[in-house]
A and B are shown apart, each in its own frame.
Chain A
Amino acid sequence: MGISRGKRILMQGMSAAVAMGGVAFSWSAAPTFAATPVTLTVSTWDSGAGLAAYRLGIQAFERMHPNVRVQIQSVPSTYYLPKLLTEMANGSAPDLMLVGDTNVNAFVNSGLLENLTPLFRQHKYGLNAAAYYPNVLNIGKVGGQQYFVPKDWADESVIYNKAMFQAAKLPLPKPGWTMAQFVHDAVAMTKFKNGRVVQWGVQLPGTWLRAGLEYFVDAYGGHIISPNGRTVNGYLNSPATLRAIEFYVGLYTHHNQISPTPQAMSGTFAKVDLLLTHRVAMEPTGPWNISTYRSDPHLNFGVAPMPVGPTHKPMTTAFWAGWGVYKNSPHLQLANELLAFFASQKWASIDSAWAMPALKGPTVAQMEKKDPVMKTFFAQAPYVQPLDVTRTRNWNKDVSPVLTNLIQQAVLQPKSNIPALVHAAVQQIDASLAQSYQ
Chain B
Amino acid sequence: MQAGAAEATPGRATRSRSLRAQRETLFYVLISPWIIGFLAFVFGPMMYSGYLSLTKWNLLAPPQFIGMGNYQQLLHDPLFWQSLKVTTIYAVVSVPLGLAFALFLAVLLNQRVRGLSVFRTILYLPSVVSGVAVSVVFMWVFNPSFGIVNSILGYFGIKGPGWIESPTWALPAMILMSLWSVGGAMIIFLAGLQNVPPELHEAAQMDGAGMWRRFFRVTIPLLTPTILFNLILSIINQFQIFTQAYVMTNGGPLNATLFYVFYLWQNAFQYLNMGYAAAMAWILFLIVLVVTVAVFATSRKWVFYQGGE
Contact A112 B145 (CB under 8 A): no
Chain A hits for B147, CB < 8 A? 268
Contact pattern, B 73-116, Cβ under 8 Å of A = 1, otherwise 0: 10000010000000000000000000000000000000000000
Smallest Cβ-Cβ distance to B79: which chain A residue = A401
A82 within 8 A of B: yes
Bound-state CA distance A394–B57 (Å) is: 13
- Over the window 352-392 of chain A, the binary record of Cβ atoms lying under 8 Å from chain B Cβ atoms (1 yes, 0 no) is 00000000000000000000000000000000000000000
The answer to whether A106 touches B143, judged by C-beta atoms less than 8 angstroms apart, is no
Complex Cα distance A333/B9, Å?
77
Q: Is B165 in contact with A397, judged by CB distance below 8 angstroms?
A: no
Answer whether residue B49 sits at the interface, using C-beta atoms and an 8 A cutoff.
Answer: no
Query: Do B253 and A268 touch across chains, with their CB atoms under 8 A apart?
Result: no
Asked whether A396 lies within 8 Å of B270 as measured between CB atoms, the reply is: yes
**Residue tally, chain A, CB below 8 Å to B:** 33
Residues of A within 8 A of B58 (CB): 106, 110, 394
Given A267-B248, A405-B254, CB of A110 within 8 Å of CB of B273 = no
Q: Given A266-B252, A394-B272, A404-B252, is A89 in contact with B59 using a C-beta cutoff of 8 Å? A: yes
Q: Report the nearest A residue to B268, measured CB to CB.
A: A82
A435 to B275, CA, bound (A): 13
By the criterion CB–CB under 8 Å, are A267 and B164 in contact? yes
Pairwise interchain contact B60-A110, C-beta atoms closer than 8 A:
yes
User: Are B60 and A106 in contact, CB atoms less than 8 angstroms apart?
Assistant: yes
- CB-CB under 8 A from B143, the residues of chain A are 264, 268
Q: Interface digits, B270-281 against A, CB 8 Å rule (1 contact, 0 not)?
A: 111100000000
Q: B60–A408 contact, CB under 8 A?
A: no
Could you tell me the distance in whole angstroms from the C-beta of B257 to the nearest C-beta in chain A? 10
Bound form: Cα–Cα A435–B73 in Å = 10
Binary contact readout B158-177 vs A (1 if CB under 8 angstroms, 0 otherwise): 00001011110000000000
The yes or no answer to B249 lying at the interface (CB within 8 A) is yes
Tell me, yes or no, whether B61 is within 8 Å of chain A by CB.
Answer: yes
Kindly state whether residue A132 has any CB partner on chain B within 8 Å. Answer: no
Contacts of B249 in A (CB 8 A): 266-267
Determine if B252 and A109 form an interchain contact, defined as CB atoms under 8 angstroms apart: no
Residues 234-279 (chain A) with a chain B CB within 8 angstroms? 261-264, 266-268, 271
Does A24 sit within 8 A of B, measured CB to CB? Answer: no
Q: Please, how many angstroms separate the alpha-carbon atoms of A396 and B269 in the complex? A: 10
Q: Which residue of A lies closest to B270 (CB)?
A: A396
Chain A residue with minimal CB distance to B56? A438
Q: Are B139 and A107 in contact (CB under 8 A)?
A: no
> Which residues of B sit under 8 angstroms from A397, Cβ to Cβ?
267, 270-273
Residue of A nearest to B254 (CB): A408
The complex places the Cα of A110 from the Cα of B162 at a distance, in Å, of: 43
Per-position contact with A for B114-147: 1 when CB-CB < 8 Å, else 0?
0000000000000000000000100110011111
Q: A197 with B271: in contact, given A86-B59, A266-B250, A405-B254 (CB under 8 Å)? A: no
The answer, among A81, A82, A85, A263, for a CB contact under 8 Å with B252, is: A263
Contacts of A196 on B, CB cut-off 8 Å? 145
Chain B residues with CB under 8 A of A401: 79, 266
Question: Which residues of the partner chain A approach B145 to less than 8 Å between Cβ atoms?
Answer: 196-197
What residues of B have a CB within 8 angstroms of the CB of A262 in the complex?
A: 253
Q: B271 near A394 (CB under 8 angstroms)? A: yes
The answer to the question of B240 belonging to the interface, with a C-beta cut-off of 8 Å to chain A, is no
B255 proximal to A (CB < 8 A): yes
Return chain B residues, CB-CB under 8 Å to A107: 60
Contact of B139 among A88, A106, A197, A267 (CB under 8 A): A267
In this assembly, does A166 line the interface, its C-beta being within 8 Å of a C-beta of chain B? no
A46-87 CB contact bits vs B (8 Å, 1 = yes)?
000000000000000000000000000000000001100110
A409 close to B (CB within 8 Å): yes
**Are A82 and B269 touching (Cβ within 8 A)?**
yes
Interface residues of A, Cβ cutoff 8 Å to B? 81-82, 85-86, 88-89, 106-107, 109-112, 196-197, 207, 261-264, 266-268, 271, 394, 396-397, 401, 404-405, 408-409, 412, 435
* 8 A-B pairs whose Cβ atoms sit less than 8 Å apart in the complex: A81-B270, A106-B58, A112-B60, A207-B252, A264-B165, A266-B249, A267-B248, A396-B271
- What is the interface of chain B, defined by CB distance below 8 A to chain A? 58-61, 73, 79, 136, 139-140, 143-147, 162, 164-167, 248-250, 252-255, 266-273
Beyond contacts A82-B269, A409-B254, A412-B167: 10 other A-B pairs, Cβ-Cβ < 8 A, are A81-B270, A85-B272, A89-B60, A111-B61, A263-B162, A394-B58, A396-B270, A396-B271, A408-B253, A408-B254
